[in-house]
Amino acid sequence: MQKRTLGKSGLEVSAIGLGCMSMSSGYGPPADTHEMIGLLRRAYDLGVTHFDTAEAYGPFANEELVGEALQPIRDKVIIATKFGFEIDPVTGKRGLGTNSKPEHIRQVAEASLKRLKTEFIDLFYQHRVDPDVPIEDVAGVVKELIAEGKVRHFGLSEAGVQTIRRAHAVQPITAVQSEYSLFWRGPEAELLPTLEELGIGFVPFSPLGAGFLTGKIDEYTKFDPTDFRNIVPRFSPEARKANIALVELVKAVAERKNATPAQVALAWLLAQKPWIAPIPGTTKLHRLEENLRAVSVELTRNDLKEIDEAASRLKLEGARLPEAALKMTGR
């Protein structure tokens, strides 16, 4: 497995990490805990050193899973987790709003440390920007947590460029996490140039377009009732039917490269910038192995040009998130 450094921070991670959310929530019922512990440890054996979780995944259950699985190899891996949502600490029910009040961030940090069975959090992201708390206050308390040794690096998720600049001026940001793939290229306009200017790494989530770029989803696919894609406009049957042209484009390149569509989609991301480290998620060992082999797929300058030119002629249908969720991004 290749390694990458997130911006100027010096934080080295595997070129492809593992997003752990789907093991506990988001894409259907939680997976078997014993199997997921095995999958997490197998990921490390295959070279993954970057594991992404959050208190909101479950809630809480995902951090507990990741903590138990990685405890034997804690000193060899990078664990990223997140704060910033309103979650009842007793019932585990997630409220509708954000909460990045300094005292709340401290409470979340302490609780996450216990669930993750660790003395420090490698990378602590604000999950979504809180419009009621100045980002300078958020960055300030994370700076204090870093000084105390409880956190090592600061990150933001789905933040806008002005928020990033303001936070970075208080406490240097190691990484920004946002959705990015051939299925959603919004970060290219403002976010990526800003991160390059400031020396901040980029961690794309949903690098396979929430599974769409694998080629295993079409207009007839039925999702589990608890799968979040049921309420995503881009995953309506009509949108899937219209957007399948993008998958056909990726499939054509994959056939030429003797690779899978997922591997080409990940290789495309890796080719964009040397400080990009995607975190595809999965609950299946064969998918994990497939995704990690993407580091061996080499896309030439001509391949990338062909993909860009062909993709630019396509008009993708449907918003990437429900309207309420979109309002929480890019602040």
Which tokens sit at 145? 């947590």
Catalogue the E-assigned strands of the chain: 3-5, 12-14, 18-19, 50-52, 78-83, 85-87, 94-98, 121-126, 151-157, 173-179, 201-205
Q: Fill in the amino acid letter for 7.
A: G
What is the C-alpha separation between 36 and 285, in angstroms, rounded? 9
Other C-beta atoms within 10 Å of 237: how many? Answer: 12
CA pseudo-torsion sign 158, 120, 37, 94: negative
114: number of CA atoms within 13 Å, CB side?
A: 6
What is the C-alpha separation between 73 and 48, in angstroms, rounded? 12
Q: Fill in the amino acid letter for 11.
A: L
Q: Which of 57, 125, 180, 220 is catalytic?
A: 57
Which tokens sit at 139? 């960055």
Other C-beta atoms within 10 Å of 147: how many? Answer: 10
Q: Is 271 helix (H, G, I), strand (E, B) or coil?
A: helix
Other C-beta atoms within 10 Å of 97: how many? Answer: 13
Residue 288: closest CA among 30, 48, 71, 53: 48
- Are 321 and 232 in contact by the 8 Å Cβ rule? The answer is yes
Contact partners, residue 186, CB within 8 Å, separation at least 6: 178, 179, 180, 320
**Active-site residue, 57 included:** yes
Cis peptide before 233 (omega within 30 of 0): no
Q: Which residues are catalytic?
A: 57
